[in-house]
Chains A and B, each alone.
Chain A
Amino acid sequence: MTGREIENLIKLLSRLPGLGPRSARRAVLQMLKKPEMLMLPLADSLRATADAMTTCSNCGNIDVTDPCHICADYNRGPDIICVVEEVQDLWALERGASFKGQYHVLGGTLSPLDGVGPDDLKIDQLINRARADEVTEVILATNATVDGQTTAHYITERLIETGVKVTRLAHGVPVGGELDYLDDGTLAAALRSRSVV
């Protein structure tokens, strides 16, 4: 139907979450109709972002600077660290704009069935950060999945030696629900009414 380059573009786009082959086809068609307005700026933006992107060596967030703009923001309090599984969870919490502390991205959950252990996650880094004097509280905002809850339990045990206060997001996070799927109001409420483990 179309040339190889276009088919390839459709194929690549359809691998993005939320885009099936049909919507990828529609997106490509839209770009082909307006190359100057959409396609070239998108290509430039993709290239620039790919060149600049980096993982924050402090918290694990993905950004274009290291430390990331959250870690570098002096308006944010240093005393509370919110622990999330993935960058998408950090973004979900930031979307709600109700949390003004630090983050720590684990990079997943403990999952023996997928071969993921403590050494595969940024848990040692978290323990180190929690030892700092200015840190008074660690909020565990892992998902309400079985692995997410087990990971929270494990981190709680590991944090005992640091003496820091450990809290969990309040109920209202549905079982098996992932943070990214929650609306901002629910997330903010869960954060406000967190409870000590």
Chain B
Amino acid sequence: MTNRLAVSRIQLSEFRCYESLRLSLNSTSVVLTGPNGAGKTNLLEAVSLLSPGGGLRRAKLGEIARNFPANPDGETRAWAVSADLETPDGAFQVGSGLDPAALAQGRERRAVRIDGETKRGQASLGRVCAAVWLTPQMDRLFLDGPSARRRFLDRLVYGLDPEHSSRVAAYEHSLRSRAKLLKEGKGDDKWLASIEDSMVRHGIAVAVARADLLARLSRAGTMAVGPFPAARMALAGDLENWLENLPAVEVEDKMRAALRDGRSRDGAYGGAIVGPQRSDLLVWHDAKGQSADQCSTGEQKALLLAIIMANTRLQTKARGAGPLLLLDEVVAHLDAERRKHLFDEIVALGVQAWMTGTDRALFEGLDGRAQFFRVEDATLTLETTP
């Protein structure tokens, strides 16, 4: 038993550029340096797939296979990630990959195994592993549409509340089901009402869990740490407004009625008139009183990192261990003071961070406190380890 979450062994097969890779690790952080295209981010993606969801690239299952895109008569290979995890609840062996049995029947399905047992649904992964990431693709998080911000927030919630991932999946499933029925003009009233009942139950649970995280983060009151800017966060949406002002039972009735009344509109325009898919995460730079999208690119990245670290502190307290932190090309964007602070805090919290960069020198502050690997042409060479 440990008071941390760490990968102690990871094995990849047919995964992106890795035909096969085997790494034995200790619980300190992992630094991967090497030229672009060497396979650093692919390894982070493999780690991200040990937690619920589609990983840090949100790739389709078949795209992850090493020979993708397959030539017309080539078969997609069943890729797999397997890992030993140390967690506060004990050691677990976790496997995740493209299900070979389904693949043999021409279907792509994610297979999840924990301690050798096949699991149904990815929520089971959330009970043993949480991962949060920051990647270059998230540079535009505050500028693009709200769906990426909701995903970012939901991922933070998974770490505190593993059941959140199955609620989000259940809600989205019902949302899509209703949209299809409305579009085809098929559903009778009772059928639609049954689906809307599922949307109401799961949708409100999703909104409540999100709001709960924001409340706990702001109560923790430690958003600003050292040289990182403090972020102020809020959720905006009808559902959030209702939940703030009405008892939960009334919110259920209100949402049920809104969905019933909104059927013809939703049939014409798609989506649903109300629900957690219409909420947005608003973030401000607290000291400047500025909305995050108005801040410089560098400050936006610092805000995201500040939120991730605040969440890590909260989760460490609440669940005995923080998430795995996957920081892809993040360190290069921080000045020396912020780098030092980030490294010190990662070590102090005892989280296993997986960090990538092209410049080994930027990680000097972690010498003796992290495992350093050189990555070249999908080959890892251990440089130093504590």
Query: Which of A38-46, A71-79, A110-118 lies on the face that meets chain B?
Result: A110-118
Contact digits for B145-158, partner A, Cβ 8 Å, 1 yes 0 no: 00000000000000
Contacts of A147 in B (CB 8 A): 173, 177
A154 lies within 8 A of B191 (CB): yes
For A174, give the chain B residue with the smallest CB separation: B120
B120 lies within 8 A of A110 (CB): no
A112 lies within 8 A of B166 (CB): no
B194 lies within 8 A of A150 (CB): yes
A149 lies within 8 A of B177 (CB): no
A176 lies within 8 A of B121 (CB): yes
Contacts of B96 in A (CB 8 A): none
Task: Say yes or no: is B101 at the interface (Cβ < 8 Å to chain A).
Answer: yes
Task: Say yes or no: is B170 at the interface (Cβ < 8 Å to chain A).
Answer: yes
Task: Say yes or no: is B337 at the interface (Cβ < 8 Å to chain A).
Answer: no
Chain A residues 118-153 with CB under 8 Å of chain B are 118, 146-147, 149-151, 153
Contacts of B197 in A (CB 8 A): 150, 153
For A160, give the chain B residue with the smallest CB separation: B190
Contacts of B198 in A (CB 8 A): 146, 149-150, 153
Contacts of B334 in A (CB 8 A): none
Q: Per a CB cutoff under 8 Å, which of A14, A21, A150, A175 touches B195?
A: A150
Q: How far is the CA of A32 from the CA of B101 in the complex (A)?
A: 25
For A110, give the chain B residue with the smallest CB separation: B191
B191 lies within 8 A of A117 (CB): yes
Residue among B120, B169, B184 with max Cβ neighbours from chain A (10 Å): B120
Task: Say yes or no: is A20 at the interface (Cβ < 8 Å to chain B).
Answer: yes
Q: How far is the CA of A15 from the CA of B177 in the complex (A)?
A: 30
Contacts of B178 in A (CB 8 A): 112
Task: Say yes or no: is B335 at the interface (Cβ < 8 Å to chain A).
Answer: no
Contact count A vs B, C-beta below 8 Å: 65
Q: Within the complex, what minimum Cβ distance (angstroms) separates A33 from chain B?
A: 26
Beyond A20-B101, A146-B198, A149-B198, whether A113 also contacts B191 by CB under 8 A is no
Task: Say yes or no: is B35 at the interface (Cβ < 8 Å to chain A).
Answer: no
Contacts of B181 in A (CB 8 A): 112
Task: Say yes or no: is A51 at the interface (Cβ < 8 Å to chain B).
Answer: no
A176 lies within 8 A of B177 (CB): no
Task: Say yes or no: is B140 at the interface (Cβ < 8 Å to chain A).
Answer: no
For B120, give the chain A residue with the smallest CB separation: A176
Contacts of A111 in B (CB 8 A): 177
For A158, give the chain B residue with the smallest CB separation: B190
For A157, give the chain B residue with the smallest CB separation: B190
Contact digits for B166-183, partner A, Cβ 8 Å, 1 yes 0 no: 100110011011101100
Q: Per a CB cutoff under 8 Å, which of A112, A118, A178 touches B120?
A: A178
Contacts of A146 in B (CB 8 A): 169-170, 173-174, 198, 202
Contacts of A14 in B (CB 8 A): 104
Contacts of B194 in A (CB 8 A): 110, 150-151, 153-154, 157
Q: Within the complex, what minimum Cβ distance (angstroms) separates A147 from chain B?
A: 8
Chain B residues 179-215 with CB under 8 Å of chain A are 180-181, 184, 186-188, 190-191, 193-195, 197-198, 202
Q: Within the complex, what minimum Cβ distance (angstroms) separates B305 from chain A?
A: 34
Task: Say yes or no: is B123 at the interface (Cβ < 8 Å to chain A).
Answer: yes
Q: How far is the CA of A43 from the CA of B194 in the complex (A)?
A: 46
Q: How far is the CA of A113 from the CA of B184 in the complex (A)?
A: 11
Contacts of A153 in B (CB 8 A): 193-194, 197-198
Beyond A112-B187, A118-B188, A154-B190, whether A176 also contacts B123 by CB under 8 A is yes
Contact digits for B65-105, partner A, Cβ 8 Å, 1 yes 0 no: 00000000000000000000000000000000000110011
Contact digits for B248-285, partner A, Cβ 8 Å, 1 yes 0 no: 00000000000000000000000000000000000000
B176 lies within 8 A of A113 (CB): yes
B166 lies within 8 A of A118 (CB): no
For B177, give the chain A residue with the smallest CB separation: A112
Q: How far is the CA of A149 from the CA of B196 in the complex (A)?
A: 12
Q: Per a CB cutoff under 8 Å, which of A15, A113, A157, A178 touches B193?
A: A157
Q: Per a CB cutoff under 8 Å, which of B120, B174, B190, B195 touches A181?
A: B120
Task: Say yes or no: is A177 at the interface (Cβ < 8 Å to chain B).
Answer: yes
Chain B residues 99-131 with CB under 8 Å of chain A are 100-101, 104-105, 120-121, 123
Q: Within the complex, what minimum Cβ distance (angstroms) separates B244 from chain A?
A: 27
For A155, give the chain B residue with the smallest CB separation: B194
A sample of 25 cross-chain residue pairs with beta-carbon separation below 8 angstroms, ordered by A number, consists of: A14-B104, A15-B105, A20-B100, A110-B191, A110-B194, A112-B176, A112-B180, A112-B184, A113-B173, A113-B176, A117-B186, A146-B169, A146-B170, A146-B174, A147-B173, A149-B198, A150-B174, A150-B177, A150-B197, A151-B194, A153-B193, A158-B190, A175-B121, A176-B123, A177-B120
Q: A113-B180, A147-B177 are in contact. List 12 more A-B contacts (CB 8 A).
A: A20-B100, A112-B178, A112-B195, A146-B169, A146-B202, A150-B174, A150-B198, A151-B194, A154-B190, A154-B191, A157-B194, A176-B120
